[in-house]
Amino acid sequence: MTVLWEGFLQGLQGVWTVARVVIPLMIILEIAQGNGLLQKLNRLLARPCRAIGLGEEGAFPVVVAMVFGLTFGSGVILNHVREGKVSPEETKVIGTFMALAHALIEDTIIFMSLGAPLLLLILPRVMMAYLMAYLVNRRNQHLSLPEGHHIQGIN
């Protein structure tokens, strides 16, 4: 019974460690979004996103996914697809990038609090996401859909 109790207490300690980081981070991110700071970050990141085939509208779901994670990021991308703000090709690039580099800020802070080095947390994920998104964009250019064919909207 002692082992179960110790496991329970260690689990609570782990949850507390994550909560101490995530809750204030989410509050700060909500304030940043309300003040338009995420939109400014989007404009800043739109330029490097052009090399992987994304316009400013396509860069926004990538920024959201990097900051908030997959759940909120995928909601934004679904909304952008429904509204026709991103092309089918951009959707593939965004999905590729999001799969590899989502929740960068949140994950980084959590793992840094456990002692992991900052650069080893961020650089490999961003570099791999950028490389794979670039390759998907290049493949899209070679395999683009014939005129008049589009991915159907999501209902």
pLDDT tens, position by position, 100-154: 998 888 888 888 888 999 999 999 999 999 999 999 999 988 876 555 555 554 4
**% of the chain beyond a pLDDT of 90:** 28
End-to-end Cα, the chain, rounded Å: 51
* pLDDT of 155: 46
**What is the reported pTM?**
0.68
Domain ranges (residues) in the chain: 26-142
Taking the C-alpha atoms of residue 147 and residue 155, their distance in angstroms, rounded to an integer, is 23
pLDDT above 70: percentage of residues in the chain: 88
- Sequence-distant (≥ 6) Cβ neighbours of residue 56 within 8 angstroms: 42, 43, 46
Q: Rounded to whole angstroms, how far apart are CA atoms 10 and 145?
A: 53
